Structure 1
């Protein structure tokens, strides 16, 4: 099955609560590739890609995130699948 990719903008109390670290661990555990970074506006941005079911599972889990997070909403859009090795944190945008 061909991989899918989703670009996510995660809104709410998602910085300073280990959201990026949680994202890396969760995505790797689901066998996904991509990246995550903080944004200057207080959101967290991510690109997740892999099998459609695993991407959907990640997005469902991301609604809660780590214990200290309070996710208000996730804006998800289709994205182009990129050739990426693993799942990593990127610098703040």
Structure 2
């Protein structure tokens, strides 16, 4: 590579899908991410959970969301449960 060639600047990693996020009513620090192309699991019924927001590929992830763990959770279960781990969150309680 000659000195006149430059590498493209690194791009922030984007997640590979859009998730629908659901918040647990009794424990609001607990969230469930379900890819929008998957069915919503029955346990996410309105009595215990509420729809929070859509998390798109370029959106900032909430504190506690781990993309690698999300991919594994979705692969094995069809959803990803995670807990907000910091006071600064991308989601309003």
Normalized per residue, which structure has more helix?
1
Range into which the TM-score falls when normalised by the shorter chain = 0.3 to 0.5
Structure of higher CA gyration radius: 2
TM-score under structure 2 normalisation? 0.35
Normalized per residue, which structure has more strand?
1
Q: With a CA cutoff of 8 Å and minimum separation of 6, indicate the structure with the bigger relative contact order.
A: 1
